Structure 1
Amino acid sequence: MNADHEWDAALAEAVLLREQGKPEQARERLLALAEKHPDSVEVAYQTAWVHDVLGLEADAVPFYERALSAPGLTEEDRHGVFLGLGSTYRILGRYEEALRTLRRGLAEFPDDAALQAFLAMALYNTGDGREAVASLLRVLAATSADSRVQQYRRAIEHYAGDLDAVEQ
């Protein structure tokens, strides 16, 4: 078995352990892989993810940051890093970093409802309730399958742009 294949197999096994509800075992393996492969953005992302699963958000941050430091992630994983890091910064009270990260994610994935929802939470945390509500209204209008929301979609989108508008 060559080194690349061994590395891929070890990473796949660690991810499988996390998916099977064995995050502690996954964490041990991922930390060992991260030490052996410090430049691997994929290992960094998976290591960050397992730390988040275990509620070790502060420990996840450097791995998320490493995952964004170089190219190499799939589009789906890159999206996951923006979401994971942005939400982790938010839960740690690092609101400005959360806003920056989530906005970077939205620059790459502009129609992503999950990124928009987490951005709304961070906006709320920074005291920008107006923009947070507007963002959530736009997400609701764009993603809801509720027939009544869709019936009033244009109005919801319109008022999201100006929540303080009153007709005279």
Structure 2
Amino acid sequence: MNRKKFLKTIASIVIVLVLCVFGLLFLIIRDNYREARGTDTQNINYGEYTKYVDIYDVVKEAYVTDNGYTKFSKHMTEDVFKYINHTSYKEKANKRAQPLKINFELREIYQTKDKENNLIYVDMIYSLVIADANGEIITGAGNAHITFTVRVDENGWYILNKYEKP
């Protein structure tokens, strides 16, 4: 009789262990699936940070202005302006119903300072949708990350470059 009880106990332990292993495998597979699937929004919490420069208003206006580079030459290179300004999309819109409708959102998420080179990196996220007068979307970007390289000197700040994450 002792032998039967012993075998039943061993069998019960083996069954419990097998169920535990399958449960762990299920949790690991589910977690990997959720991580691979991702989400449409990213919650980035950088906490408190030092704000070295305030480029927000100039950058926002440069994205949506129709007035050209001259006004912004004091604060950014022409290459940066041409990259971020929406008028580069007008070629696509020539055959579309005018006027264009622009929906633009911008938020700053972080600033870091490179003391050695006296540069500041300003990380921002923007969303841009350009539609024709009928509401048909011509182009856009959603939650796009962009980093501006800013030099600060005695004359103020100047955006030297931009990097947009692919």
TM-score normalized with structure 2 length: 0.20
Structure number with larger C-alpha Rg? 2
Which structure's residues are more often helix, by fraction? Answer: 1
Considering Cα pairs closer than 8 Å and 6+ residues apart, tell me whether 1 or 2 has the greater RCO: 2
Length-normalised TM-score, structure 1: 0.20
